[in-house]
Structure 1
Amino acid sequence: MTNSTPRIAVVGGGPAGLTCARVLQGHGIEVTVHDGDAAVDARDAGGTLDLHADSGQIALEDAGLIDAFMALARPEGQAKSRRDQHGTVLTEFTPAPGDEAAPEIDRGQLRRMLHEHLRPGTVHWGHALVRAVRTGDGVHRLEFADGTSTEADLVIGADGAWSKVRPLVSDAVPQYLGVCFLDARFDDVDTRHPAIAGIVGDGHMFANDGAGRAVIVQRNSNSVVRGYVAFRAPLDWHVRAGVDLTDRQAVRAHLVQEFSHWSAGMRELITANDGDYVPRTFHALPAPLTWDRVPGVTLIGDAAHLMAPFGGHGANLAMLDGVELAHAVKEEATLGEAVSRYESAMFARSGELATSANGALTRFFATTTPDAPHLPPDHAQEHRNYLARAAAYRAQQAERARQAQRAAQSPGH
């Protein structure tokens, strides 16, 4: 870059923001990350992620962290099964030996690993962004809830679904997709819940009844299974039903009625959880979402392309976003050129995947017979596709590097 000391601020200390910061630091570029959490492990980071060879793993390779990831990852967690509401197995997938196209890792483990590989003090914890204000010439002032503020030449919004940075570039807001889910967990599952352990296996189990209700459960590390009891409902379903979401027994009684037509064995996934049900919702940004370039600011991850979680693209795209932006900042002459290059590639990639993911959710939770049935993907072919796209991506990177080298060596450069 012509300006070798830009002030770069990342808002959001999740996988996207931390990966971006790691690669920027690897390029010798100073960066500060601001996050509202009190510490890296101050809250439950959620369940498990599969990091794809063509996106999340590329990001970790470029960050120099692929070995650290593989030391924590669970390739066996790629296993998947699909059942109906009676527990009948409809499809199964078991990864072949050596298959590392999309191994699993707990979200909390990934976040801690990324944080541990940043320079001490990079992340300013307890910095919840209140607003970002333009001050002119592409500079923005970030104002935090603790009363502090800072200015940056480039603000990178990695602050998720309800981004406080997004309004600087777009008036788009997440829209509710009509599906609620309750996050539940099962601890010491192999000993305390052996029947559930058998249903879930080593990876994921998906079950739906064709009436807008589903259970999705995932094996996590340390003998934990996390489950998602999902159903079509308005956002205020609990108010209409008179259910106190903090009353575990009241929620459980409601779910027993809602899922009364499910078999007793499958209802164990709904009623035998350890701890409370944590309410969550499915929201998505309009897809494809683009915006005109705004000097001094851009978005990565869910802040840029929040989508339904079907396909597992969210975190993978978020990390690849962070890496590609960091590379562009290093390689382009100005911040403006870097952001333009990054956004052009990100818009093209994320729009198609977001549209596909949102459509998959709609089909999975359909309450009427669709024109085309929702069929589970061919996971073996899906893994082959990840690997093929990863090879193509690396080939494109190599060609771009050769072109840059030839341009640098040309007469008059």
Structure 2
Amino acid sequence: MKETPRIAIVGGGPGGLLAAHVLHGHGIAATVYDADAAVDSRDPGGTLDLHADSGQIALEDAGLLPAFRALARTEGQAMTRRDHRGTLLKEFVPTDDDTAAPEIDRGQLRTMLYEHLAPGTVRWGHKLTELTTENGVHRLHFAHGSTVDADVVIGADGTWSKVRRRLTDAMPDYLGVSFLDVRYDDVETRHPEVAALVGNGQLFTTDGAGRAVIVQRNSNGVIRGYVAFRAEEDWAAREGVDLADRASVRGFLLREFRGWGATVRPLLTDNDGDYVARAFTALPAPLTWERVPGITVLGDAAHAMAPFGGHGANLALLDGAELAHALHEEPTVEAALARYETAMFARTGQLAADANEALRGFFADQPDGASRDVPDREEELRSYEARAAEYRASRTPAAR
């Protein structure tokens, strides 16, 4: 750019941190503002598989692919499929050198991205409450009373993004499926039956009637995931379930998942810690908006979608890299943001629509009550590699 804009990134998740990395690599200053008190001040969630055609490309652009590979678990690409009685339906075990979509804990990824940034890049404890604009200057207002002025504001602030509200009135909708976060600690010793069911990777267990348990091996002897079921968004109140009382939740699950076999029942009842209730929500897809000078969004702020396919974090990372490249390569901020948004809309729109539809279909009743099939894992991995080659061949070559 001919300009030297003040760039504020709102949100210190993977997409925001990756954008800062690539911008800094191009010699462009940017500061990240995040509501959390520190990089590890809250539970970051479970694990992610980073795809060769998106997340790994972004990490390579940031010079962080070796750091990722030092933490990643290639064995975590394994997938086991069982029915609700525990019968093994399908199993995939990756080779040791398969790097199409290795797993990494969310907390490990965020910490890695943060620790490789220059000190002071991330300002923790900055919760955005409002974004205003006057005479082309954007002012970020934070909960503790301070303000920051910026020429470019990048919203990496998630599904309920405040930055996105300056671009579109679109808001996330509930997809009709709720879930409960579950975790099992020190599984080889405390939960050997769960460890045996899950193996080294992911376990899908479904009954063909709108109920599923989807869990994944994490690092350090932990398995995490969720118990998912079709329900009204206020299901707990309707069912009289006290979410703070594990016995109350377990009683509901045993009723809701009646008929599930004894082999898989520990997945419902033997978790460590409280159940955490969440809901699957997504933005309308495909979603676009008219350009607003100096403001854009990435990741879930731009295209929050159902988790089927595991695209969310991967697209956030790639969004961050591609936006940073555009800001480096285009002559003006507006040319850069227009280029980024045009490509991002094309890249993410159909993926988001397909992921949302896949979730609805997966949790719909099967006519014969059979377990609904899931994508073939090896086919997915090979498709990531093929698309990675295509994507690299199509990228703008300048200064990469």
* TM-score normalised per structure 1: 0.94
- 1:210 aligned residue: 208
Cα distance in 1 for residues equivalent to 2:279 and 2:181: 10
- 1:410 aligned residue: none
Cα distance in 2 for residues equivalent to 1:98 and 1:378: 19
Is residue 75–residue 103 contact of structure 1 (8 Å, CA) maintained in 2? yes
| Partner SS, residue 401 of structure 1 | coil
| 1:164-175 equivalence runs, <5 A | 164-175=162-173
Shift of residue 392, structure 1, vs aligned partner: 1.4
- 1:192 aligned residue: 190
- 1:387 aligned residue: 385
Counterpart selection for 2:161 from 157, 160, 163:
163
Cα distance in 2 for residues equivalent to 1:342 and 1:108: 28
Cα distance in 1 for residues equivalent to 2:348 and 2:293: 21
| 1:9-408 equivalence runs, <5 A | 9-137=8-136, 139-369=137-367, 374-397=372-395, 400-401=396-397
Shift of residue 352, structure 1, vs aligned partner: 1.0
Is residue 208–residue 371 contact of structure 2 (8 Å, CA) maintained in 1? no
Cα distance in 2 for residues equivalent to 1:178 and 1:393: 34
Cα distance in 1 for residues equivalent to 2:397 and 2:313: 26
Instruction: Give the AA of the match of 1:151.
Output: D
| Partner SS, residue 228 of structure 1 | strand
Is residue 85–residue 264 contact of structure 2 (8 Å, CA) maintained in 1? yes
Instruction: Give the AA of the match of 1:118.
Output: L
Instruction: Give the AA of the match of 1:131.
Output: E
User: In the TM superposition, what whole-angstrom CA distance separates every residue of 1:298-354 from its partner, at most 9, and x where no partner exists?
Assistant: 010000000000000000000000000000000000000000110111000101110
Moved more, 143-152 or 383-392: 383-392
Instruction: Give the AA of the match of 1:61.
Output: E
Cα distance in 1 for residues equivalent to 2:211 and 2:392: 41
Is residue 360–residue 374 contact of structure 1 (8 Å, CA) maintained in 2? no
Is residue 73–residue 102 contact of structure 2 (8 Å, CA) maintained in 1? yes
Shift of residue 368, structure 1, vs aligned partner: 4.6
User: In the TM superposition, what whole-angstrom CA distance separates every residue of 1:173-201 from its partner, at most 9, and x where no partner exists?
Assistant: 00000111000110000111101000000
Cα distance in 2 for residues equivalent to 1:97 and 1:303: 35
Shift of residue 373, structure 1, vs aligned partner: 9.0
Instruction: Give the AA of the match of 1:68.
Output: A
User: In the TM superposition, what whole-angstrom CA distance separates every residue of 1:201-248 from its partner, at most 9, and x where no partner exists?
Assistant: 000001111111110011000000013011011111111111111111
Shift of residue 380, structure 1, vs aligned partner: 1.5
Cα distance in 2 for residues equivalent to 1:227 and 1:378: 20
User: In the TM superposition, what whole-angstrom CA distance separates every residue of 1:368-405 from its partner, at most 9, and x where no partner exists?
Assistant: 539x99532122222111111111111122xx326x99
Cα distance in 2 for residues equivalent to 1:238 and 1:378: 34
Is residue 363–residue 373 contact of structure 1 (8 Å, CA) maintained in 2? no
Question: Compared with structure 1, are the counterparts of its residues 210 and 374 closer, same or farther at alpha carbon in structure 2 (3 Å cutoff)?
Answer: closer
* TM-score normalised per structure 2: 0.98
Is residue 207–residue 371 contact of structure 2 (8 Å, CA) maintained in 1? no
Moved more, 354-363 or 304-313: 354-363
Instruction: Give the AA of the match of 1:390.
Output: A
Shift of residue 168, structure 1, vs aligned partner: 0.5
Instruction: Give the AA of the match of 2:11.
Output: G
Cα distance in 2 for residues equivalent to 1:243 and 1:279: 11
| Partner SS, residue 284 of structure 2 | coil
Moved more, 319-328 or 244-253: 244-253
User: In the TM superposition, what whole-angstrom CA distance separates every residue of 1:49-77 from its partner, at most 9, and x where no partner exists?
Assistant: 00000000000000000000000000000
- Would you identify which runs of 4 or more consecutive aligned residues in structure 1 move more than 6 Å? none
Cα distance in 1 for residues equivalent to 2:265 and 2:371: 25
Shift of residue 271, structure 1, vs aligned partner: 0.1
State how many pairs are aligned: 399
User: In the TM superposition, what whole-angstrom CA distance separates every residue of 1:127-178 from its partner, at most 9, and x where no partner exists?
Assistant: 00001112132x2111000100111111000000000001110000000001
Mark the runs of 5 or more structure 2 residues left unpaired by the alignment. none
Is residue 227–residue 269 contact of structure 1 (8 Å, CA) maintained in 2? no
Cα distance in 2 for residues equivalent to 1:332 and 1:232: 46
Instruction: Give the AA of the match of 2:267.
Output: L
Cα distance in 2 for residues equivalent to 1:134 and 1:124: 21
Question: Compared with structure 1, are the counterparts of its residues 349 and 369 closer, same or farther at alpha carbon in structure 2 (3 Å cutoff)?
Answer: farther
Cα distance in 1 for residues equivalent to 2:268 and 2:378: 29
Root mean square deviation of aligned Cα: 1.5
Shift of residue 97, structure 1, vs aligned partner: 2.9
Is residue 248–residue 276 contact of structure 1 (8 Å, CA) maintained in 2? yes
Mark the runs of 5 or more structure 1 residues left unpaired by the alignment. 406-413
Cα distance in 2 for residues equivalent to 1:245 and 1:340: 45
Is residue 133–residue 141 contact of structure 1 (8 Å, CA) maintained in 2? yes
Is residue 186–residue 225 contact of structure 1 (8 Å, CA) maintained in 2? yes
Is residue 208–residue 372 contact of structure 2 (8 Å, CA) maintained in 1? no
Cα distance in 1 for residues equivalent to 2:241 and 2:371: 33
